Structure 1
Amino acid sequence: MPRAVAGPEIERLIQLLGRLPGLGPRSARRAALALVKKKDLLLVPLAGAMTVAAERIVTCSVCGNVDTSDPCIICTDPTRDGRTIVVVEDVSDLWALERAAAINARYHVLGGTLSPLDGVGPEDLTIDQLVARCAGGDVSEVIIAVNATVDGQATAHVITDRLAGLPVKVSRLAHGVPVGGELDYLDEGTLSAAIRARTPF
């Protein structure tokens, strides 16, 4: 077992940083060391920002986004197309679409995907809330923007089935060759999807 190289407070900081996605034990130690070495410049402001975030950040009761207000800034934006809802797996997907400025619609965060192996069923996601939003009559299109995984596609099928009785158009993101992509570097699944989803030229 490796020996502790610092006091318990710093070791605790390393352990907590190591729980973040993308940070392993080594990266967590480097990050902790950078924070400690620049205590006034990094550590103290970060601690303050995290305290404020813990106190003020809430989950939007309408779409599932995280913000400092409920409903969130996207749900209350009058310039958004309220008739279109983009369904995503997680808040990170919502943020990615917003960064791309690809669409000026509203969102719905599922909170994951169906995964029988992990015991995640439809009742564990916000599918019922999505159906309720669409049943209100104000929504004309639902764009399913989940990942092209087995679990993602299974989730998309369940959502499509649940919305079948409503006057809502259901569409999904196109799959295939990315912009700037070279065919030689793409996997077989992506190439197959691109062929199936071909469009007139």
Structure 2
Amino acid sequence: MKTTVFLLLSFACLHLGFAAVPSDALAGIVDNDDGTVTDTESGLIWTKRSNGSRSISFFDAAIYYVGELETAGYAWRMPTQVELDSLYDTEFAWSTEACPDDTLHISPVFDIVCGDFWGDSNAWYYSFRDGQTYSDSRGLDDGNEVLAVAMMTDDDDDTTDDDTTPDDDTDDDDDGGGFGCRGRDLPR
């Protein structure tokens, strides 16, 4: 089975112009087939797909985007620098169609555009090209992407925590700051 998965992954990567990745490198990253990816080493659940473009130029819009996510029913939040860094892995070396000259060091299970991601502070962003954090006072002309994070739940634990369990409630907080996001106007 592992050989078949490796061959299929290798074929897909080569067909798409990506570098092949050893199958054992994927062991800690699990595609949950619900729009999420679990990092079994850190216990974090990530959105599989970034916001889909580098269009989120402002930190406030990134927060709004994450606050509106309903993927798999989790209570999503912005990741910390340490959490983003936990996904950086030089075993992976691939590029995307949008940024073919950039080598990314993150599992190709993730559906991302380029490689610069907002974190939980408006003063920095993280790059999966080199594993470095860069300062950014509020936003860039070309923007950054967003991957949201949640904590994995323990099925044997009956206690709940708002940051770790799926949440059916919607958050009506207005923290969008009036910036455009995903082709719509945010509340002011």
When the two structures are superposed, what TM-score results if normalisation uses the length of structure 2? Answer: 0.25
Higher percent of residues as helix: 1
Relative contact order, higher structure (CA 8 A, sep 6+):
2
Larger Rg: 1
TM-score by length of 1: 0.24
Structure number having the greater strand percentage:
2
